[in-house]
Chains A and B, each alone.
Chain A
Amino acid sequence: MRKMTFLVFTLIVLLSIVSIAAETIKIAAVLPLTGAVAAYGQQGKQGILLANEMFPEVLGKKIEVVFIDTKSEKAETANAVARAIDYEKVNAIIGELISGNSLAGSAVADKKKIPMVTPASTNPLVTQGKKYMFRVCFIDPFQGEIAAKFAYENLGARNVVIFTDIEQDYCVGLANFFKKTFTALGGTIYEEYYRTGDQDFSAQLTDALSRNPDILYVPGYYTEIALIARQARQFGFYGPILAGDGAEAQQLIEIGGDAVNDVYYTTHYHPDAAQTEIASVFIEKFQEKYGERPSAMSALNFDAYLIIYDAIKRAGSDDPEAIAQALRETKEFKGVTGVIKMGPDGNPIKSVVINKVENGEFKFVTVVNP
């Protein structure tokens, strides 16, 4: 009997959940809000929420953003995109962040002819051969090449140890493109490997430092970069550490402390290099709203929202086909992370910014144009 009462009660609770709906232009944000890479999803969400606050209306209609969680999983991403299209009836989609997940999701969106903009999936395959898939970030080969040139020419490095996170395709890809360019320039490379979630790098570092590298290249994500930097300094390595855009997060400094001084990284933007007006506004508003500096992830998600907003405005219609067409024709879009011209295959042509950490702050170093 008690079981019965319990079941009935549960049923009542579940049935009394009613979702809220309204007449609007809908954009879905399919993000990894929980699971292994929840941090990026949460940062992305911050950027999109701010963008929605700053640009809430287009064509006289309110824009409603529906956040759909992917649990950082592929199957969930594909389902989430299908749900966004068929159930939420959205006009455009932002997401996902991880390349593999974006691929699973974009297969669905492309078939349904709904434009999808990924803020941060840098793998070349994500947009390849898809008419309705776009991104606002640059692709891995480009970033790796720039990093290698910077290391060789500006940092004067000849002997580099690369720390590859073998669990992240992003990281393996970057390391690979870096290696190609750097060895072509005449430098030598030695490789160490680790896995996402590893906490102890003492063995790899002991080995790596016995090779007397000029710099370390760690194209992974900020948690591991911070830990590697900390432990590297403890082992007496004080040279520069070069990283990719995965480094850019406040947590890098929080976790790394003094150790992350002299960490250089390739990324999408820096306030001091603000090529656009919107960038400084964004930084100011972001700090006002969340009390911290925006990360690259927040900025890219902000841009993903904004580029869709811009496309709707230019198309003068919220029809998905028209939005997609307008996205393809993007020429002089001024986003937070730079000026974007949409190239063929939905990949933007934009500049790479190189920043470094100095006394617990991100400082602008240089900008490399394509």
Chain B
Amino acid sequence: MRMTLPIFLQNLANGILLGGLYALIAIGYSMVYGILRLINFAHGDVFMMGTYFAFYGVTLFLLPWWLAFVVAIIGAGILGFLIDRIAYKPLRNAPRISSLITAIGMSIFLESLAVVIFGGIPKSFAPPRIYPKFFSKMLQIGSVRVQILTFFILGITALLIIFLIWFVYKTKIGMAMRAISTDIATTALMGVNVDLVIGITFAIGSALAGAGGILWAMKYPNVNPYMGFMPGLKAFIAAVIGGIGSIQGAMLGGFLLGMIEIMLVAFLPRFAGYRDIFAFIILIIILMYKPSGILGAKLEEKV
């Protein structure tokens, strides 16, 4: 492959964009895992649901696009909260594997629910029907062509992450979240309403997934009930790479994974078919040799 500087820069831009989207979804995974040690398999499906909410907000309820997006993000948050209340809360004291199995069940449930409610035919999430055409305009920066959408997505991603870091580190609930992730039992003894805080964590993580879903659909305008599975899995891998349980880690992992995927396909186009293998191999190597990820804290079992 002839890798010239412009082509490299083009791929860099692509990588950053994909990475940003992975990062948004990965944060939700990471937050939930940090608190409950639960791989929330249904996270990818909340991502899908959020996109559908936005789609129907615009097409069925005729909301302006920005309002529909905000409502959809809130909707995804509420959905996440409900999922926790219904499916995970009753299993708080059960073996961790039980929650994992239930999460898998929840994922299948949400997918089939979407098939029943929204139908199996993919919906098109494209301008001008859903959002203004302005976003899909191309900007020429030197030799690199970038869509305005890219800046929008990166901007929103950055904004959401800044908000999240403020929330986790500067507010009372954020403090409670961090306390729970260190020691759930002690935090409960301190008089913190653990269930509420966990519920809020789910809500925020899910809202971010919803936002990620909408941005994803703006970039790849194809909405279907199964759209959440692969990005969900990839985001989980990103969270593990960065160090699961850590918000900064999830961001770092997301950007890294997005970049690696794009660059590998760019440098070795023959191996595009193996693209997902790379992600899984990275996952396995990280889990084997540094399960705490790049930024994660070390977890050890006491004998």
A–B proximity contact (CB within 8 A): yes
CB closest chain-A residue, reference B115: A34
- Which of A38, A166, A234 is the one whose CB lies under 8 Å from B145? A234
B147 at the interface (CB under 8 A from A): yes
Contact sample, A vs B, 7 pairs, CB 8 Å cutoff: A38-B115, A193-B272, A195-B276, A200-B220, A206-B7, A227-B220, A251-B222
**Are the C-beta atoms of A42 and B14 separated by less than 8 Å?**
no
**Are the C-beta atoms of B122 and A207 separated by less than 8 Å?**
no
Which residues of A are found within 8 Å of B221, using beta-carbon distances?
Answer: 227, 255
A153 at the interface (CB under 8 A from B): no
Contact residues of A between 189 and 207, Cβ < 8 Å to B:
192-195, 197-200, 202-204, 206-207
Known: A195-B275, A251-B124, A254-B124. Contact between A200 and B262, CB under 8 A? Answer: yes
Which residues of B are found within 8 Å of A36, using beta-carbon distances?
Answer: 226
- Among B112, B124, B226, B273, residue most surrounded by chain A Cβ atoms (within 10 Å): B124
**Are the C-beta atoms of B122 and A39 separated by less than 8 Å?**
yes
**Are the C-beta atoms of B124 and A203 separated by less than 8 Å?**
no
Known: A194-B272, A200-B14, A202-B11. Contact between A255 and B121, CB under 8 A? Answer: no
| Distance between Cα atoms of A226 and B125 in the complex (Å) | 12
| Distance between Cα atoms of A342 and B276 in the complex (Å) | 43
Contact residues of A between 168 and 197, Cβ < 8 Å to B:
192-195, 197
**Are the C-beta atoms of A207 and B266 separated by less than 8 Å?**
yes
| Distance between Cα atoms of A256 and B121 in the complex (Å) | 16
Min CB distance, A168 to chain B, in Å?
12
| Distance between Cα atoms of A199 and B14 in the complex (Å) | 12
Min CB distance, B123 to chain A, in Å?
8
- Which of A34, A39, A202 is the one whose CB lies under 8 Å from B262? A202
**Are the C-beta atoms of B262 and A227 separated by less than 8 Å?**
no
Q: Chain A: residues with CB nearer than 8 A to chain B?
A: 33-36, 38-39, 41-43, 166, 192-195, 197-200, 202-204, 206-207, 210, 223, 226-227, 234-236, 251, 254-257
**Are the C-beta atoms of A257 and B122 separated by less than 8 Å?**
no
**Are the C-beta atoms of A199 and B273 separated by less than 8 Å?**
no
Q: C-beta contact mask, B153-197 vs A, less than 8 Å → 1, else 0?
A: 000000000000000000000000000000000000000000000
**Are the C-beta atoms of A210 and B1 separated by less than 8 Å?**
yes
Min CB distance, B254 to chain A, in Å?
14
B119 at the interface (CB under 8 A from A): yes
Which residues of B are found within 8 Å of A35, using beta-carbon distances?
Answer: 120
Known: A202-B14, A210-B2. 9 other contacts (CB 8 A): A38-B119, A39-B120, A193-B269, A194-B273, A226-B222, A236-B145, A255-B222, A256-B126, A257-B126
- Which of A42, A199, A257 is the one whose CB lies under 8 Å from B219? A199
Interface residues on B, range: 35 or more
**Are the C-beta atoms of B120 and A34 separated by less than 8 Å?**
yes
Min CB distance, B260 to chain A, in Å?
11
CB closest chain-A residue, reference B149: A234
| Distance between Cα atoms of A194 and B266 in the complex (Å) | 12
Min CB distance, A147 to chain B, in Å?
22
| Distance between Cα atoms of A355 and B209 in the complex (Å) | 40
CB closest chain-B residue, reference A197: B230
| Distance between Cα atoms of A352 and B224 in the complex (Å) | 31
Min CB distance, A359 to chain B, in Å?
15
Q: C-beta contact mask, B100-113 vs A, less than 8 Å → 1, else 0?
A: 00000000000010
Min CB distance, B67 to chain A, in Å?
22
| Distance between Cα atoms of A204 and B138 in the complex (Å) | 19
**Are the C-beta atoms of B119 and A207 separated by less than 8 Å?**
no
Which residues of A are found within 8 Å of B266, using beta-carbon distances?
Answer: 203, 206-207
Which residues of B are found within 8 Å of A43, using beta-carbon distances?
Answer: 121
Q: C-beta contact mask, B222-255 vs A, less than 8 Å → 1, else 0?
A: 1011100010000000000000000000000000
| Distance between Cα atoms of A234 and B10 in the complex (Å) | 11
Which residues of A are found within 8 Å of B82, using beta-carbon distances?
Answer: none
| Distance between Cα atoms of A43 and B121 in the complex (Å) | 8
- Among A200, A226, A257, residue most surrounded by chain B Cβ atoms (within 10 Å): A200
| Distance between Cα atoms of A203 and B259 in the complex (Å) | 11
Min CB distance, A294 to chain B, in Å?
14
**Are the C-beta atoms of B273 and A166 separated by less than 8 Å?**
yes
Which residues of A are found within 8 Å of B276, using beta-carbon distances?
Answer: 195
Which residues of A are found within 8 Å of B272, using beta-carbon distances?
Answer: 192-194, 203-204
B64 at the interface (CB under 8 A from A): no
**Are the C-beta atoms of A193 and B273 separated by less than 8 Å?**
yes
**Are the C-beta atoms of A235 and B145 separated by less than 8 Å?**
yes
CB closest chain-B residue, reference A209: B7
| Distance between Cα atoms of A257 and B138 in the complex (Å) | 15
Min CB distance, A196 to chain B, in Å?
10
| Distance between Cα atoms of A226 and B119 in the complex (Å) | 21
Which residues of B are found within 8 Å of A192, using beta-carbon distances?
Answer: 269, 272
Which residues of B are found within 8 Å of A41, using beta-carbon distances?
Answer: 120
Q: C-beta contact mask, B257-274 vs A, less than 8 Å → 1, else 0?
A: 000001111100110110
Known: A34-B112, A234-B147. Contact between A202 and B122, CB under 8 A? Answer: no
Known: A200-B262, A257-B126. Contact between A207 and B1, CB under 8 A? Answer: yes
| Distance between Cα atoms of A203 and B220 in the complex (Å) | 15
| Distance between Cα atoms of A33 and B116 in the complex (Å) | 10
- Which of B7, B18, B122, B225 is the one whose CB lies under 8 Å from A210? B7
**Are the C-beta atoms of B269 and A207 separated by less than 8 Å?**
yes
Which residues of B are found within 8 Å of A251, using beta-carbon distances?
Answer: 121-122, 124, 222
Min CB distance, A194 to chain B, in Å?
6
B127 at the interface (CB under 8 A from A): yes
